[in-house]
Amino acid sequence: MDIFEKTKSFTRAKEAMRGGYYPYFRALDHTEGTTVTVDGKTLIMVGSNNYVGLTTHPRVRQAAIEAIEKYGTGCTGSRFLNGTLKLHQELDRRLAEYLGKPAALCFSTGYQTNLGTISALVGRRDVVVIDKEDHASIVDGCRFSMGTVKRFRHNDMDHLKYILEQVKDADGILVIVDGVYSMEGDIAPLPQIVELCKRYGARLMVDDAHALGVLGGGHGTAAHFGLVDEVDLIMGTFSKSFASIGGVIAGDADVIHYIQHHARPMIFSASMAPPNVATVLACLDVLESEPHWIERLWENTRYMHEGFKRLGFNIGNSQTPIIPIIIGDDFRTVGLWMGLWEEGVYTNPVVEPAVAPGGQRLRTSYMATHTREQLDKVLHAFEVVGKRTGIIP
């Protein structure tokens, strides 16, 4: 069979495009954080991971401009060879301090961070244990490793205990969880996970992609629970609260040194571009000197939680600025998305196979920079369209 034959039978997306209800790869003409323009239409953005709203902060923008003027637009080499600037080393050091760890190492993307860290550490006789709702980059990092992969039911500590009991004789065990889950908006029960890891001699890695800038005063899930010293590895990304692109892994110096010399996605990829590095450094400055942004984020989060519950929407177990609107049906999910688009609200529809049957939803998320007027407009649009489609009474 021709290897391209499968491409001809993939028609679902094309049918949605022809029908005018294809929601993905929409090109933005312009964005100012809380609002975007698409084909001349201005919408309130409630689908972004720009939690602290720093992509438009004057200090952050200026830092990126100055970095281009000083260093140029790119490094044209991997960090392993000619692509490490003093700027990269400063960011490694600053992030280690920010995350409360002895050392840190930055990668070009968050996806590469998980891929490189997991594949470097997990060998043939090791076991990696992950939550079933862990991010795709964690799953792919496990596939890229040589170890055995076990999965436990989402946030189910009894199931995690059962699996650790089964694999306790492995050469090494690494448990990996998201700190904040990107589709549910809930938080990993870190105290119980730490206790189980200690009991069974497992190491613990927490993916804080959606927790940095959000939980623990911005320092992440371990800081939120007061468990920084109990978590072995903290991973984070820069494409959310840090207004850039890239990723970081932080932990003990020997572990980070080992990853630095064994993580193929870092060794064989060009390093972060200078403006991206400078952007993250500027975001750290802002988070440390202007804590009111995180306070404002949580004010908006509480306001939207209360608003959606009052209207009668199902938001699951959300505890964070990520608020899913769970519908449970592909057709009605897309219908709600289209109606909100017409009302000037940008959301992200998530349908099968990205979620299991019954889990279809709109994924919404909120920023520190959303105004109360914008949030009220969003709630009003949800009420109007929700009633029109029969999703709420």
Q: Give pLDDT tens digits for 216-262.
A: 999 999 999 999 999 999 999 999 999 999 999 999 999 999 999 99
Q: Which stretch of DSSP H or E encloses residue 205? A: strand 203-207
Pairing type for strands 103-107 and 148-152 reads: unpaired
Contact at 8 Å (CB) between 105 and 266? yes
* Position 343 pLDDT exceeds 90: yes
Q: Give the chain's domains with CATH numbers.
A: 5-31+291-388 (3.90.1150.10), 58-289 (3.40.640.10)
Computed over every residue of the chain, the mean pLDDT equals 96
Token output for 5: 């034959």
Pairing type for strands 203-207 and 322-326 reads: unpaired
Token output for 99: 């995350």
192: exposed, middle or buried (Cβ count in 10 Å: 0-12, 13-18, 19+): middle
What does the pLDDT look like over 309-341, one tens digit per residue?
A: 999 999 999 999 999 999 999 999 999 999 999
Identify the CA nearest to 217 among candidates 329, 136, 98.
98
Contact at 8 Å (CB) between 106 and 242? no
Q: Give the model's pLDDT for residue 353.
A: 80
* Position 354 pLDDT exceeds 90: no
Share of residues in the chain with pLDDT > 70 (%):
100
DSSP letter, residue 252:
-
Bridge partners for 78 per DSSP? 270
Length of the chain: 393
Sheet holding 345-346: strands in order across? Answer: 30-31, 35-38, 41-45, 345-346
What does the pLDDT look like over 79-126, one tens digit per residue?
A: 999 999 999 999 999 999 999 999 999 999 999 999 999 999 999 999
Give the number of other Cβ atoms within 10 Å of residue 41's Cβ: 12
What does the pLDDT look like over 121-180, one tens digit per residue?
A: 999 999 999 999 999 999 999 999 999 999 999 999 999 999 999 999 999 999 999 999
Separation between Cα atoms, residue 81 and residue 154, nearest integer Å: 40
- Torsions phi, psi for 273 (to 5 deg): -70, 150
Share of residues in the chain with pLDDT > 90 (%):
94
In angstroms, what CA-CA distances link 182 with 136, 159, 271, 315?
11, 21, 26, 13
Identify the CA nearest to 240 among candidates 366, 135, 86, 134.
366
Q: Give the model's pLDDT for residue 355.
A: 85
Q: Give the model's pLDDT for residue 58.
A: 96
Q: Give the model's pLDDT for residue 32.
A: 86
